[in-house]
Structure 1
Amino acid sequence: MKYRVIIWGIGEIYNKHVNTLKYLTYKEEIEIVAIIDKDYFFLSHIDGYPVVDIANLSNILFDYLIIMRDNEEEFLYEMLQLGITREKILPYRILDVPDLSFDEYVRVKESRISIISNNCWGGLVYRTLGLECCSPFKNLYLKDRAYLMLLSNMKEYLQYPLEFSKFEEQTDLGVQYPVMRLRDIKIHCNHDTEVEKVQENWNRRCSKINYNNLFVAMFTQNKEMIERFLNIKVSPKIGFVPFEDSRNELINIHKTGDAKAFYIAVNNNAGIGNGSYSYNVLKLLSGDEHFYRCEENK
């Protein structure tokens, strides 16, 4: 399917991504039906694409709009005022995803996938792909045994209220963060400092969970814990480990560059920056068994 796309913004970001846009156009994955930028009102076309006055936006049939701006939230309100639904608005950073298939991206986006993970990996994937976060497992971590307990009966656990347990200090940053309790499980909300904000975010994200489309991930350095994870009846799932294993549900992640800790290497691979090398995240989430980007030396 060829998706009709509007580009919002001309400038540095557009110029850096115009070759990707042309490649996706060449592959007949997208058709750029308009480019909009009030500062370039004197143009009729750029790079072969029509430049359209914002007043004529309502006359254009399109599937998605890509914002070519860093401060996308600043323009979001204007777009909503113009009647563009949030579901149609995409951030330009999706064009940086290696080996991007726009059709594959749309399928993942429209599936409203709920990523369950025991650290920041899921939240980083949502950020990388510009997807709505349909999971409460963002900006937090759980220790291995607690996470496995939760996965063993997740739907029931998530019906319990998230309650404050204590504050702990994150020594590398010198800040106190709340440790929360979900029945008998402790959840470390190490990216937050306010209990009320943690509870608000947790409850809002819990309400968005799509139990019909879960993707469950776990990182651990403990072989016993990963075996227990693999034995839990949830699927699809993936485990990130620092050792070799030929099973399809495990990915051996190496520490590269300045990733001094294993969890950093795991999180790096959820993005598109340094240390991201292992897998195609869209294929991974889609259940495509050919998700690896690389082959290791024998």
Structure 2
Amino acid sequence: MTWKCLRRCAVWRGKAGLRNEKAAGKRIRMKSGDTYNIYIFGAGYEYNRLSSYLPLYSDIFNIMGIVTTKRQGFSCIDGLKNITIEEIDVAAMDYIIIAVIAWKEIKEKLLSIGIEDKKIIRSNVFYNPCFGFKEYIKLKSSNVSIFSNFCLGGTIYRELGLKVLSPTVNMFCLGEEYIQFLREYEVLLKSEMKEYISEQYISGTLGCESFYQRGILDDRIIWYFNHNQSASDAIVKWNERVKRINYSNIAMLMTIQTDEAAYEFDKLPIKKKLGVYHKDLNLESVIYCSDWNDSRVRYQSHGNWPAYANRYMSNSDNLAGAVNWIKFLNGDNDYKRYT
């Protein structure tokens, strides 16, 4: 066993000893200052990956146990007690970290025993280069609704393990219509989304005709359902997510394709807005992606600017993303990683 592993085990076994001493007498809720009572769900690959990050939080995490679906052939893991879901002390815990690949199924089980969604954290967020626990739980509890005209909004929700509180994921909206949507979203979101049937050709597909299922708001704002085979299914999802919107915490994102759209987006009267464009127009709320001016980048990306912009702006690909999304969504001004 390496020194690093020994040190890690020693840290957690020491904390386990402290918990055992407290358990010997009256149970004491360890919540002084900025210390959090934490459970970890999972004891396999994802737990092994997470465990190398845990020493970074040893001063604020009081790990109450490793939770598994059934009793294992051991009582402790790294000095931490192994328990089942039924043994979770819901009243005493602050957060539970899901460290399994099939996290959706586990999340449903945790919700069913009374654990609030805001207290459930996916282990993947710890691997985000911009992650900080206190900043993250502030963001998670803020219930932000992210509007986006391409895939970036959905990518950020997944990257940060946040509950989707926006209807605009898994679809896209073009140019001026999206700007109009952002200007009037409070009114437009009260109107019914209807299926839009037309033989209109969608430009920008490199000569390959692409006819997506579509929906229309107020007979003027068209959304393209590029991830759905059925317009009716997409509209059902839209209606479900409209009900979840937190109108007191809106963030607007835009993958920009024209100078005019960039200027109009920059004028929108909302603090949390961020666009990305391949021209430098010196706009405060628009990030300049100079990479797209490299012909090799365009060739390797098959000329698909929205797809490349999504990679450039996120931190979940091989690139070092341009934005610290935790800071941006928390309303901090120093969110740009490239300066």
What's the TM-score once normalised by structure 1's chain length?
A: 0.88
Q: Does 1:231 align with 2:267?
A: yes
Spell out the pairing of 1:134-283 with structure 2 (5 A cutoff).
134-166=165-197, 177-183=212-218, 184-253=220-289, 254-255=291-292, 258-260=300-302, 261-268=304-311, 269-283=313-327
Q: Deviations along 1:63-117, whole A, 9 cap, x unmatched?
A: 1111111111232343334333333222221112113111111111111101111
CA distance in 1 between counterparts of 2:95 and 2:77 reads 19
User: What SS does structure 2 have at the residue aligned with 1:166?
Assistant: coil
Distance 1:142 1:77, change over 3 A: closer
Q: Deviations along 1:97-139, whole A, 9 cap, x unmatched?
A: 1131111111111111011111111111111111111111111
Given the alignment, which residue of 2, 12, 18 partners 2:45? 12
User: What SS does structure 2 have at the residue aligned with 1:147?
Assistant: helix
Given the alignment, which residue of 99, 104, 117 partners 2:130? 99
Distance 1:81 1:286, change over 3 A: closer
User: What SS does structure 2 have at the residue aligned with 1:108?
Assistant: helix
User: What SS does structure 2 have at the residue aligned with 1:84?
Assistant: coil
Residue identity in the other structure for 2:40: I
CA distance in 2 between counterparts of 1:70 and 1:196 reads 30
Verify the 8 A CA contact 2:272 2:328 in the aligned structure 1: no
Q: In angstroms, what is the RMSD of aligned CA positions?
A: 2.6
**1:235 CA drift (Å):** 2.5
Verify the 8 A CA contact 1:177 1:194 in the aligned structure 2: no
Spell out the pairing of 1:82-93 with structure 2 (5 A cutoff).
82-93=113-124
Residue identity in the other structure for 1:265: Y
Q: Relative to structure 2, which stretch is displaced further, 52-61 or 193-202? A: 52-61
Spell out the pairing of 1:59-78 with structure 2 (5 A cutoff).
61-78=92-109
Verify the 8 A CA contact 1:161 1:182 in the aligned structure 2: yes
Verify the 8 A CA contact 1:240 1:251 in the aligned structure 2: yes
**1:55 CA drift (Å):** 3.9
Verify the 8 A CA contact 1:226 1:239 in the aligned structure 2: yes
Q: Percent identity?
A: 26
Verify the 8 A CA contact 1:65 1:90 in the aligned structure 2: yes
User: What SS does structure 2 have at the residue aligned with 1:196?
Assistant: helix
User: What SS does structure 2 have at the residue aligned with 1:16?
Assistant: helix
Distance 1:246 1:21, change over 3 A: farther
CA distance in 1 between counterparts of 2:186 and 2:212 reads 26
Gaps of at least 5 residues in structure 1 are none
CA distance in 1 between counterparts of 2:129 and 2:79 reads 25
Verify the 8 A CA contact 2:280 2:288 in the aligned structure 1: yes
How many residues matched?
293
* Structure with larger Rg: 2
Residue identity in the other structure for 1:127: R
Q: Relative to structure 2, which stretch is displaced further, 159-168 or 228-237? A: 159-168
2:336 alignment partner in structure 1: 292
Distance 1:201 1:155, change over 3 A: same
Residue identity in the other structure for 1:121: L
CA distance in 1 between counterparts of 2:278 and 2:154 reads 21
Residue identity in the other structure for 1:11: G
User: What SS does structure 2 have at the residue aligned with 1:193?
Assistant: coil
1:22 alignment partner in structure 2: 55
Verify the 8 A CA contact 1:4 1:31 in the aligned structure 2: yes
Q: Deviations along 1:6-50, whole A, 9 cap, x unmatched?
A: 100111111112121221224x3x332211125663434333433
Q: Relative to structure 2, which stretch is displaced further, 109-118 or 175-184? A: 175-184
What's the TM-score once normalised by structure 2's chain length?
A: 0.78
CA distance in 2 between counterparts of 1:55 and 1:190 reads 41
Gaps of at least 5 residues in structure 2 are 1-33
